[in-house]
Amino acid sequence: MAKRSSYQQRVIKNYYENREAISLQRLQELVTELYLAEGKKRDKHWKSIAGHLEKLGVKKEQIDHLVGQDNPQLIAKFIEKLLAKS
């Protein structure tokens, strides 16, 4: 396996240090897109949202509840609470 340069190592380290912030930012973007989406695109956004919530350590039951409600406003309020905690 090829060795990584010091620059590559720093990039990888910074990614993992900021993974939570990256997921929160992407969640905010997905909620915006969710308001405008319909049909299959909306389902795809919900799957992405569920994946990012799992990465943030949200319980599976809570994720299922949010996705089951299919309410962008509900997920937006939940993200606000996550942002307040971090």
pLDDT(1) > 70: no
Whether 29 is covered by a domain: the verdict is yes
**Nearest Cα to Cα of residue 32 among 79, 86, 83:** 79
Q: Please report where in the chains the tokens 């340069």 appear, as a residue.
A: 5
Fill in the amino acid letter for 3. Answer: K
DSSP state of 75: H
Share of residues in the chain with pLDDT > 90 (%): 81
pLDDT in the model for residue 41: 94
> Which token pair is 3?
């060795």
Q: Which of helix, strand or coil describes residue 45?
A: helix
Q: How confident is the model at residue 82 (pLDDT cuts 50, 70, 90)?
A: confident
The domain total for the chain is: 1
Whether 61 is covered by a domain: the verdict is yes
Distance CA 11, CA 18 (A): 11
Whether 1 is covered by a domain: the verdict is no
Whether 18 is covered by a domain: the verdict is yes
User: How many alpha carbons fall within 13 Å on the CB side of residue 83?
Assistant: 12
What is the span of the domain harbouring residue 19? Answer: 6-85
